[in-house]
Amino acid sequence: MPPVLLLMLYGALCSFGTAMLREEKNKLRNQVVEMFDHAYQNYMDHAYPADELMPLTCRGRVRGLEPSRGDVDDALGKFSLTLIDTLDTLVLLNKTTEFEAAVRRVLSDVRLDNDIVVSVFETNIRVLGGLLGGHSMAVMLKEGRQHMQWYQDELLNMAKDLGLRLLPAFNTSSGLPYPRVNLKHGVRGPETRTGTETDTCTACAGTMILEFAALSRFTGDPVFEEHARRALDFLWEKRQRNSNLVGTTINIHSGEWVRRDSGVGAGIDSYYEYLLKAYVLLGDDEFLQRFNTHYASIMKYISQPPLLLDVHIHKPLLPARTWMDSLLAFFPGLQVLKGDIRPAIETHEMLYQVTKKHNFLPEAFTTDFRVHWAQHPLRPEFAESTYFLYKATGDPYYLEAGRTILDNLNRFARVPCGFAAMKDVRTGSHEDRMDSFFLAEMFKYLFLLFAETDDLPFDVEDYVFTTEAHLLPLSLSTSPYSSPIASNRTTDEELDDSNFDWTCPNTRLLFPDPAFPRNLREPIRGVVDKSCPRPAPYREPGMGRPPLRAQDFMANNPEHLELLRRMGVSLIHLKDGRVQLVQHATQAVSAVAAEDGVRFMQEMMELSSQQQKEQLPPRAIQIVSHPFFGRVVLTAGPAQFGTDLSKSATGVRGFVTVAEPYRGCSEITNAEYVQGHIALLQRGQCMFAEKARHIQKAGAIGGIVIDDNEGSSSDTAPLFQMAGDGRSTDDITLPLLFLFHKEGNILLEALKEYREVEVLLSDKARDRAAIFKGKPLPGSLIEGSVDVQEAEEDCQTEATTPTSFEPVSQSQISTVELDESAAEEVSPAQEEISPATTAEEAPQEEVSPVEQQADSAQPKEERDEKRDSEETKEPRDDTDSNSQSVDEMLADWREDLEAFRQMEKDEL
């Protein structure tokens, strides 16, 4: 079947409902262009030639000069990543002059021989894809005889140079590439920091064929396509033959599956995408046959409309997790290309409702649509699926969905120097990050969504979009290709002819009734709106009552510590300030005391879980003065005392001033400046509550404590709640918030440069229009009825996170059954992943009251850190679905943590 037939679906438009007026579409199209200009020009003005823009601090991110973000930084290779990734976007948006200037910059400034280790996957889709997309556009413009007449395939030559630098990664017995390569030295072992890895994600190995085949066909050198095909052949052979699914992580040497969970999101996503698009681009039926085989299994086991849930490849009827990641938002768009429109509509509607609930898609969210991981790095996958569904259905509903995306980006992510990623979708706080894919993908899809055919400089139907939205011409299918590598052809016996039923649909037959898509969407909207049920009240397991109840426990009470000792429970203060509980039943003074210890640990687990659900969420510090005007929002930790900002309709607004002494541990000496202001304090030397009392006495209306640990950041450490000092804090009536050093430095630098800096302390970022019109600030940023807002707020403030107490029994407690809802909240001590709330500033040997954790996000440095190769546990056959042992519970948490670590590595 010619590849162009699949693309006929894009042009089969039907008009349902009232179409958006062309004038309104043009207005939104122009808004997309203006937003792109804001992002691109700030990158060029403040960051170039660095790889990325840091939009909060208005400077470039240069690898090695900024604190490491772990594997996230493997996308950066000191090759002006954002500029290369944006080349073909410039042409699509009719910025031909800027494109020509950008190409000249790339040719004169960019070096590819840097002694730096990069991700093979990210470099392929972003840099190699960007160069090939730029080459395609340059050739197209040159053929038009108006622009780029000087161009002589320079970008293609750079692309071949880069391809040759990536090829050493494929030097494995399996043909699967190493996940990293040194641009200068290739893969030589530890001395080049390469060649030591054993595992890679399925998407990392299976997302090479489009760029490598295009490179081969452009240059006439088959070596690139041969290696990409060999990797795909190996993955196909290693699929689980009963389920026809692939796992998430594979050993590149043995081909054994390291992680056997399977889905369509992080770790696997673009493997499926490239099988279908490789057929479209190259015209090879084998790719379509493989895709259809996988797709039949996806629809049988993973798709539970509107949900897409991971399963185990060996037991595909058994779910592997209870949450979904945001990367799966691309899948409805792929289903459009496949022609399976109904589930695409259903899943997209679920994603749209989650987006409206939280303003953006959280990095991960649960099956009842609560926030699981709260970050949002401005990912484009939802916009991508929105565009493809509009093209397939012509339904103006998807134009409104696009308008929602635009509005949320401008309201919550736009800052003076670009667009900042969301650190926490619940508070609206920002991260100093604007990934290159934001310019490469987001603006492409939004522009195409609102543009008319005559707005486009070329016919997009002549191109295939890569996973990074780079444009490769369909004409490559006619380019010669020959390979000596024997292909593992799919046999007819492995295929079910029914798999091909949806390949080239007639959309008029799919939608005989214009109301059909709406009928699919309505039930899903109701399901999401009615989500977030409250947890059932805790019922104490067992019959006995321990001598010490968890809710009464005080960590600085000697009598309580003695009771713990008698029960075989040890309290450990970790170096980072966390408190850890460990039970050794054999160390209890008696069997009865050991049983009491088991009950105490059970209560502590449940109490920690309940406290996590009830605790204060992170707070927001919004800079509202010139030139920020509310666009910069910093993630702040709350205090367990003082004003509860969630109960304040307006928050606390005021100018900041540095208190003297800066530590705030004695009477404030510059009270005349502090009075009526928000005081800035430095962490250390005394209790948080003591600092609050001193600035309150000086007349401050609020306080911000800035961490004294240089380099600390909420990027790499979760926030905590500031606890009291062990006595009543009812006398403290002002709000006190905590900033890590990095975020605090943004505030201090602003104060240094502009002298007068006004901030708003609140529970979440507020609508800027309301701020500057002087209206009362809404309690929620979500539009809708009061009842809906209350339900949504519940969703936003609850997240499945580890507790700060880490009760772990090393003997009898492992046999105790716990309620599963509580079990999900407990983190294993050996992972050391959940910092406690710091309650005091005194030396660590002083014991503090019971401490809690406030932030839901795991430390990025821990998420990025590669775990030792730990054998994935096979799914268990539970006889009681309502309970599980502590060992199983901790194993579940480890799997969840590892899944998110892997997600950060897979595609960013």
| Per-residue model confidence as pLDDT tens digits over 355-379 | 999 999 999 999 889 999 999 999 9
Q: Any idea which residues carry the catalytic annotation?
A: 122, 269, 363, 381
pLDDT at 666: 92
Could you tell me the two tokens for 122?
């990210």
Instruction: Report CA torsion sign: 104, 109, 115, 117.
Output: negative
Secondary structure string (H, E, C) spanning 642-703 = CCCHHHCCCCEEEEEEECCCCCCCCCCCCHHHHCCCEEEEECCCCCHHHHHHHHHHCCCCEE
**CA 563/CA 580 separation, integer angstroms:** 16
pLDDT at 542: 37
pTM of the model: 0.69
pLDDT at 791: 39
Taking alpha carbons only, the member of 225, 324, 359 closest to residue 282 is: 225
Q: What residues in the chain have per-residue pLDDT under 70?
A: 1-19, 480-515, 529-546, 551, 554-556, 573-579, 606-616, 725-726, 770, 772-908
Taking alpha carbons only, the member of 643, 780, 768 closest to residue 356 is: 780
pLDDT at 819: 28
Query: Does the fold of domain 617-770 match that of domain 321-478+508-531?
Result: no
Taking alpha carbons only, the member of 627, 730, 168, 127 closest to residue 417 is: 627
Q: Which residues pair with 324 in a beta bridge?
A: 365
SS3 at position 627: coil
pLDDT at 537: 34
User: According to the annotation, is 366 in a ligand binding site?
Assistant: no
First to last CA, the chain: 34
pLDDT at 772: 67
The residue extents of the domains of the chain are: 321-478+508-531, 552-612, 617-770
Amino acid code (one letter) for 867:
R
pLDDT at 863: 34
- Going by C-beta distance under 8 Å and a sequence separation of 6 or more, which residues neighbour residue 200? 176, 177, 178, 179, 249, 250, 252
Could you tell me the two tokens for 753?
């440069």
Give residue-wise pLDDT tens across range 305-353. Answer: 899 999 999 999 988 988 999 999 999 999 999 999 999 999 999 999 9
Q: Which residues pair with 119 in a beta bridge?
A: 180
CATH number of 617-770: 3.50.30.30
**Fold category of 321-478+508-531 in CATH:** Glycosyltransferase (1.50.10)
**CA 83/CA 791 separation, integer angstroms:** 42
